[in-house]
Structure 1
Amino acid sequence: MSTKKIFSGISPVVIMGVKNLLESEGIECFEINKSDSSYVGLLGEIELYVDESQVEKAQNVLKTFKSE
C-alpha cells in the first residue's frame, strides 16, 4: 500500500475534524504526529495520509472543507 500526505496542520482539533470528514466520505486515513509535545503548536505538524488510490477523492473533499 502506497500512501500520500493529503493534509497537515498544528491544531489537533482541525486534524480531527478533517480526519472525521474524510472518514465520513469513506476515505481511510491515518495521522503521523510530528509535533513536539513540549511545544504544542509551535514545533512540528500533524500529517494526514491516505492511500494513493483515494488521493483525488480526498482532495475534492478537502476543497469543499477549505471553501467553507
Structure 2
Amino acid sequence: MSDYKIYSGTSQIRAMEIKNILESEGIEYYELNKLDSSYTGILGELQLYVSEADSEKAQQLMESIEDE
C-alpha cells in the first residue's frame, strides 16, 4: 500500500481541521509529528497521510476547503 501526503505544515490547528474532515468522511489517515517541542511552529512540521485508495477523495476535500 502506498501512502499519499495530504498535508505538510506547522499549523496544529490546520492539521486538526483536516483530520476532522477526513474522519467525518470515513477516510483513515496517519500523522507524523516532526515538530520540535521546544520550537513549535518554527522547526519541523506535521504531516498527514492517507492511503492511495483514498487519495483522490482526500485531495478533492482539500481543494474544497481551500476554496472557502
Q: Which runs of 4+ in 1 moved over 2 A?
A: none
TM-score, L = length of structure 1: 0.93
Give the match for residue 57 of structure 2. Answer: 57
1:10-53 deviation digits (Å, cap 9, x = unpaired): 11111011111111111111110011111000011100000011
Aligned-partner Cα distance in 2 for 1:12–1:52: 24
Aligned-partner Cα distance in 1 for 2:7–2:13: 13
Give the match for residue 22 of structure 1. Answer: 22
What residue ranges of structure 1 are gaps of 5+ in the alignment?
A: none
- Pairs within 5 Å for 1:12-51: 12-51=12-51
What residue ranges of structure 2 are gaps of 5+ in the alignment?
A: none
How high is the sequence identity, in percent, across the aligned residues? Answer: 54
Which has the larger share of helix?
A: 1
Q: What displacement does 1:2 show?
A: 2.2
SS of residue paired to 1:42: coil
Q: How many residue pairs end up in the alignment?
A: 68
